[in-house]
């Protein structure tokens, strides 16, 4: 075979890729490696969302296709097992990682310099609290890097520039939510741009308090008198919501969807799964099957005084109890409800994750938020 023929054959095997496609692949890689910026949460998502477990195409079939099928983007649900569980605070920390840059001067901030779509369905999120968490995060990163904390005005300017890329929407009903989601491509891509995030990719679509419209939707459902246990709700609406979110994930570089929900149930054990903890989901089954992984958050309980304890002994425990309260500790654990649908390798991965994190990861809420270890 001549060099000319060999060169021609090799050239035909080269797949052309535009610069925009290269940027898209890099953005997708960044999103898939660190969807939230929180180590224990991202590790857990990888366990449930391993691309090798999603679709395994034989090599012969790959030769017949231009590109292999991409894995489905992850969907993370945060729910609370107790009041003040910390799920909203965890959400603020995820947004902090998404908006801030990777570095500020010599200080590594572990940020993504991305944009976030936030749907505040109960209109309860606080930008002031988000700002405080961002300030605390920058200060903590400076301490870790053994660098001077930037001046307050410099931090203020950095946070202001970052918050320009947080796009907040507050629909007032499920119908309004669907309409808002459907309008997002036009909002982000129509020219001239009415926002500052054109150069950035979308890091996440966040639905804060997705269960806010639960009772309103039940009243509008075909059978509003059904019992709570049956979770009767308009499945057509839920399917429309899921379809719209999937389309948006495809539009916005396969970004993750992150939702917070409330819980109506008390936790229970699953004997068949080795007494792993499970919490009945608030949302209907059609939504639950859409979720990649559900993390349950709860406040760490303070043990009651032992019966017959003396006043002196109670006083000795006072400092310890106050310390526990001041630490603001929460715990996040995997919800094993519906684990019958998991693959065996997923169960093994979750068991290994639980062993590594002591059954679940810690969330410490003070001026800022620490995740994984008290640090």
Contact predicate 158/164, CB 8 Å: no
Residue-wise pLDDT tens digits, 244-293: 999 999 999 899 999 999 876 666 655 545 678 899 888 888 999 999 99
**pLDDT in the model for residue 16:** 52
d(CA 304, CA 301): 9
Q: What is the DSSP string of 315-327?
A: HHHHHHHHHHHHH
Least confident stretch, 72-76, 143-147, 300-304: 300-304
Nearest to 75 by CA among 365, 286, 329, 324: 286
Cβ-contact 98, 112 below 8 angstroms: yes
pLDDT confidence band for 305 (50 / 70 / 90): low
Q: How many CA atoms lie within 13 A of 312 on its CB side?
A: 0
Stronger pLDDT, 84 or 304, i.e. the higher one: 84
Torsions phi, psi for 31 (to 5 deg): -65, -40
> Which residues share a beta bridge with 371?
363
pLDDT value of residue 273: 54
What are the φ and ψ backbone dihedral angles of 295, each rounded to 5 degrees?
Answer: -105, 130
**CA contacts within 13 A on the Cβ side of 74:** 27
- pLDDT confidence of residue 276: 83
Measured between alpha carbons, how far is 145 from 94 in angstroms, rounded to an integer?
A: 21
Confidence check: pLDDT of 18 > 60: no
Cα–Cα nearest to 87, from 290, 298, 268: 298
Q: Is the distance from CB of 169 to CB of 248 less than 8 angstroms? A: no
Can you give the C-alpha Rg of the chain in angstroms? Answer: 23
| Cα–Cα distance measured from residue 188 to residue 195, given in angstroms and rounded to the nearest whole number | 8
pLDDT of 65 > 80? The answer is no
242: left (phi over 0), alpha (psi -120 to 50) or beta: alpha
Q: Is the pLDDT of residue 61 over 50?
A: no
Tokens (6 digits) for 197: 């995030």
Mean pLDDT of 107-118: 97
Top mean-pLDDT range of 204-218, 226-240, 257-271, 349-363: 349-363
Tokens for 308?
């017959």
Q: Which of 270, 285, 272, 275 is nearest to 229 (CA)?
A: 285
Which residue in the block uniquely carries the two structure tokens 């003040």? 84
For 65, the token pair is: 């296709």
């Amino acid at each position: 075979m001549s060099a000319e023929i060999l060169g021609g054959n090799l050239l035909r095997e080269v797949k052309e890729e535009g610069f925009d496609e290269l940027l898209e692949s890099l953005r997708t890689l960044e999103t898939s490696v660190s969807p939230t910026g929180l180590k224990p949460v991202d590790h857990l998502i990888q366990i449930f969302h391993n691309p090798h477990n999603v679709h395994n195409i034989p090599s012969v079939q790959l030769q017949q296709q231009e590109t292999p099928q991409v894995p489905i983007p992850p969907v993370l649900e945060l729910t609370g097992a107790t009041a003040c569980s910390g799920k909203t605070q965890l959400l603020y920390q995820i947004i902090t990682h998404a908006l801030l840059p990777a570095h500020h001067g010599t200080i590594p901030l572990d940020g993504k310099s991305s944009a976030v779509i936030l749907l505040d369905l109960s209109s309860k999120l606080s930008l002031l609290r988000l700002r405080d968490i961002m300030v605390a995060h920058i200060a903590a990163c400076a301490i870790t890097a053994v660098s001077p904390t930037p001046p307050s005005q410099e931090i203020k300017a950095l946070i202001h520039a970052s918050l320009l890329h947080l796009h907040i929407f507050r629909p007032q009903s499920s119908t309004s939510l669907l309409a808002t989601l459907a309008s997002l491509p036009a909002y982000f891509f129509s020219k001239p741009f009415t926002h500052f995030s054109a150069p950035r990719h979308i890091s996440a679509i966040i639905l804060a308090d997705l269960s806010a419209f639960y009772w309103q939707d039940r009243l509008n459902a075909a059978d509003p008198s059904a019992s709570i246990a049956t979770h009767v709700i308009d499945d057509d609406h839920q399917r429309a919501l899921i379809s719209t979110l999937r389309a948006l994930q495809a539009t916005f570089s396969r970004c993750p969807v992150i939702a917070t929900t409330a819980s109506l149930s008390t936790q229970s054990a699953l004997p068949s799964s080795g007494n792993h903890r499970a919490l009945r989901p608030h949302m209907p089954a059609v939504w639950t099957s859409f979720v990649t992984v559900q993390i349950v958050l709860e406040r760490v309980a303070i043990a009651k005084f032992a019966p017959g304890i003396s006043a002196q002994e109670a006083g000795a425990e006072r400092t310890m109890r106050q310390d526990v309260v001041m630490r603001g500790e929460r715990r996040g654990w995997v919800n094993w409800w519906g684990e019958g649908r998991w693959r065996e390798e997923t169960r093994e991965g979750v068991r290994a994750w639980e062993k590594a994190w002591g059954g679940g990861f810690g969330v410490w809420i003070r001026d800022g938020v620490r995740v994984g270890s008290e640090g």
